[in-house]
Structure 1
Amino acid sequence: MELKESPTAEAAILIRRPVADVFEAIIDPAVTTKFWFTHSSGRLDGGKPVEWEWRMYGVSTRVEVSEIVPNEKIAMQWSEPPTKVVWTFTEMPSDATFLEVRNFGFAGSGDEQVKQAIDSTGGFALVLAGAKAWLEQGLTLGLIGDRHPKGISA
């Protein structure tokens, strides 16, 4: 399948917390582990790669930040082969933040790229829902760990 344009995974949600809190939740693994990965080798920071782990699945990925604009944008690469992820933080009225994430640059055939974009969209939708629950209500929903429970084949 020949693609006319590269597929992009996109997810977004309004989080009723100040933009600085939402931004910090993505760069600080002490917060991010409440709703996404289980372990990290450090905070997201330009020029210093980190390793993220999902121990319930026995997988990890190297994350390299290419750009950080505090409270506005995080651009990074991750996965193997690497894809780009761009987080955009938009300050909204009443101490709320509109958080958008885009993942693109998938490799493989057209069909493979589309499948990766669909899977990534679903994954990031769960990440954003988990972030919203944690940041607004202090709830750890366990969405990522429950996505692929043992005994259920994908």
Structure 2
Amino acid sequence: MEKRKVPTVECQMMIRKPVSEVFQAFIDPTITTKFWFTKSNGKLEVGKTVTWDWEMYNVSGDVKVNEIVPNEKISIEWDEPATTVDFEFAALTDGTTYVVIKNYGFSQTGDDLIAAIKDNTGGFTTVLDGLKAYLEYGIELNLVKDKFPHIKQK
């Protein structure tokens, strides 16, 4: 019997920084807020649920941390509707890291599933682009903030 393939969003980027620095950019909200969300109530730790805020859109989301393998993997459960997001890190050299973000476990079907995959692919690509600009060049591009200018921002 053929296995049914699970719909998965997969985005990736090489970052010209050591794996430990790239990994910490996702663990530590003082760094993550430079390229993704605007506020968090804490660092990512296994078993902990943190809230991430995008204040400019008046949106927040709870993130449950399921697994952390230092410098290799972070696995979270994202709320509403719940999906799993894995952040995988591989050192290509001492100074370069390959990041892969996988998002799966979608409950939607049909056109709603297509819309969710499209939105998450675009969103995680934007996150990786912002991460690269910030870590490699120290530039905050405001990509997430500027992605939806038609939505009333604070």
CA shift, 1:107, in A, is: 1.5
Match of 2:46 in 1: 46
1:105-148 per-position Cα deviation (integer Å, ceiling 9, x unaligned): 11222221121011100000000000000000000000001000
- Contact 1:104–1:117, Cα closer than 8 Å, also in 2: no
SS at match of 2:56: coil
- Shift >4 Å, 4+ stretches: none
Match of 1:84 in 2: 84
Give me the identity figure in percent.
Answer: 48
- Contact 2:57–2:151, Cα closer than 8 Å, also in 1: no
Calculate the aligned-residue CA RMSD, in Å.
Answer: 1.3
- Which one is further off, 91-100 or 131-140? 91-100
Q: Distance in 2 between matches of 1:46 and 1:32?
A: 17
CA shift, 1:151, in A, is: 6.1
Match of 2:23 in 1: 23
Match of 1:118 in 2: 118
SS at match of 2:111: helix
Match of 2:5 in 1: 5
Q: Which consecutive unaligned segments of at least 5 residues does structure 2 have?
A: none
Q: Distance in 1 between matches of 2:108 and 2:14?
A: 33
SS at match of 1:141: coil
Change (3 A) 1:151 1:108: closer
Aligned residue pairs, count: 149
SS at match of 2:81: coil
Q: TM-score, normalised by structure 2?
A: 0.93
Q: TM-score, normalised by structure 1?
A: 0.93
Q: Distance in 1 between matches of 2:100 and 2:125?
A: 10
- Contact 1:12–1:101, Cα closer than 8 Å, also in 2: yes
